[in-house]
Amino acid sequence: MLPAPKTDRLSLADVMPACLAAISGDANRLALPPVDRVVVLLVDGLGSAALKARAGHARALMSAMSGSSVIDSGFPTTTAAALATLTTGTAPGQHGLVGYTVLDAANGRMLKQLSGWDALIDPVEWQPMPTVFERATAAGHAAVAIGPERYRDTGFTQAVLRGATYVGAATIAERLERAADWLRQPGMTGIAYVYVPELDVASHATGAGSSEWTTWLETLDAAVTGLIAALGPRDGLLITADHGVVDIAEHNHVLFDANPALTDGIRFVAGEPRCLQLHFHPDASLEQRERTVAAWRDAEGHRAWVATRDEAIAAGWFGDVRADVVPRIGDLLVAARKGIAYYDSRTLGHGHRMVGYHGSWSPAEIQVPLLRFGAFARR
């Protein structure tokens, strides 16, 4: 049986719309009380499991952790999809960022959703859903996005952060100081979004169980302490993440092209190592496609969920899917269940040496914290 999103659980799609509702004094799924200003701090890769495993290194964060402080990221558990879900309040099937790499069918190529934007892709056409920042400014509120300067003018930023004024800051401490400065502006209502990529970078390089990752967690926790102190009586702070991480040793990397039956008729390999999205050649016959799907199920069904595009859409993996988004999703999806990562040895690159991974359905990947401070912490 294929996994499916738990629609009764809170998810990243609920977070930003709830913040906007709180500023407007409206009811919302997070039951946030009315406030004037909200800061949403997104810590890339800070899964609930990894945070709890290092609880002693994150006292400020853990002070807000409770049984109700865990929400679902959404599928696939990858940054491009999750951040678009956070800032639009919609599932990938609507906002269109359905993986780390996806098929750009109009141009016959693979597109990296975080860094591969060029003149052939209009970010507004590719991701047409209005952002919460656009909705906030239309209602007369302020909206800022605070992150590393290198992300200011990227296509991805235009796709998921449009409507917000971008503020560049180099370090975690500087970003949270900019958020504190923003909170001090008098007579203002609005939303500030702060992005912290450092923990995710460390997890890919050395793993979420490494001393490097723990050091970044301690750095984050110290900066959060300062931001909490800057919160006024009508300021709320939410801290969450886009996905968690699982550490996978290199001997658990599966070179799937070693079995020719698994690449028969395949033109493009998209997605990421924990969640392959395979696209067939347009001229691949129905028999050839069915044979390759069966080969994947026979070879990998014991340690991965293997689903055709139609099966994945029917199971709700991407939510409701717009017609123009359908071709971006793989004809065949392979989502790891066990502690493995899939690679094509013909195109091996630096990624093969990664330690931390995400993309699939495991609790360590999909469960992220939702920590409430300031006005949101009071009941």
- Provide mean pLDDT across the span 228-239: 97
pLDDT of 378:
61
Residues 265 and 67 sit within 8 Å (Cβ to Cβ): no
pLDDT at 277 over 90: yes
Residue 353: which pLDDT band, with cuts at 50, 70 and 90?
A: confident
pLDDT at 96 over 60: yes
- Provide mean pLDDT across the span 79-105: 98
pLDDT at 17 over 80: yes
Residues 336 and 358 sit within 8 Å (Cβ to Cβ): no
pLDDT of 50:
97
Q: What is the dihedral of CA 152, 153, 154, 155, to 10 degrees?
A: 130
Looking at CATH, the fold of the domain delimited by 12-96+114-247+361-374 is given as Alkaline Phosphatase, subunit A (3.40.720)
Residues 288 and 374 sit within 8 Å (Cβ to Cβ): no
pTM above 0.95, yes or no: yes
pLDDT of 229:
97
Share of the chain above pLDDT 70, in %: 99
Greatest Cα-to-Cα distance within the chain, rounded to the nearest angstrom: 67
Residue pLDDT, tens place only, 156-199: 999 999 999 999 999 999 999 999 999 999 999 999 999 999 99
Phi, psi dihedrals of residue 252, rounded to the nearest 5°: -100, 15
pLDDT at 206 over 90: yes
pLDDT at 67 over 80: no
Q: How many of the other CB atoms lie within 10 Å of CB of 9?
A: 11
Residues 144 and 164 sit within 8 Å (Cβ to Cβ): yes
Q: Tokens 């028999």 map to which residue?
A: 287
In words, the CATH class of domain 250-356 is alpha beta
- Provide mean pLDDT across the span 225-236: 97
pLDDT of 150:
97
pLDDT at 129 over 90: yes
pLDDT of 351:
61
pLDDT at 348 over 80: no
What single letter denotes the amino acid at residue 142? A
pLDDT of 349:
63
pLDDT of 149:
98
- Provide mean pLDDT across the span 40-60: 97
Residue 83: enclosing H or E segment and its boundaries? Answer: helix 79-88
- Among residues 70, 73, 93, 94, which one has the least CA distance to residue 83? 73
SS3 65: coil
- Provide mean pLDDT across the span 273-297: 98
- Provide mean pLDDT across the span 104-122: 95
- Provide mean pLDDT across the span 110-136: 96
pLDDT of 186:
92
pLDDT of 9:
93
User: What is the spatial distance between Cα 274 and Cα 77, in angstroms, rounded to a whole number?
Assistant: 9
pLDDT at 71 over 70: yes
pLDDT at 347 over 90: no
Tell which wins on pLDDT, 348 or 260. 260
Phi, psi dihedrals of residue 250, rounded to the nearest 5°: -60, -30
Token pair recorded at residue 152: 């200011």
Residue 143: enclosing H or E segment and its boundaries? Answer: strand 142-147
pLDDT at 379 over 70: no
The structural domains of the chain, with segments of one domain joined by +, span 12-96+114-247+361-374, 250-356
Residues 359 and 271 sit within 8 Å (Cβ to Cβ): yes
Burial of 308 per CB tally in 10 Å (0-12, 13-18, 19+): middle
pLDDT at 28 over 70: yes
pLDDT at 364 over 60: yes
Q: Average model confidence (pLDDT) for the chain? A: 96
pLDDT at 153 over 70: yes
Residues 146 and 175 sit within 8 Å (Cβ to Cβ): yes
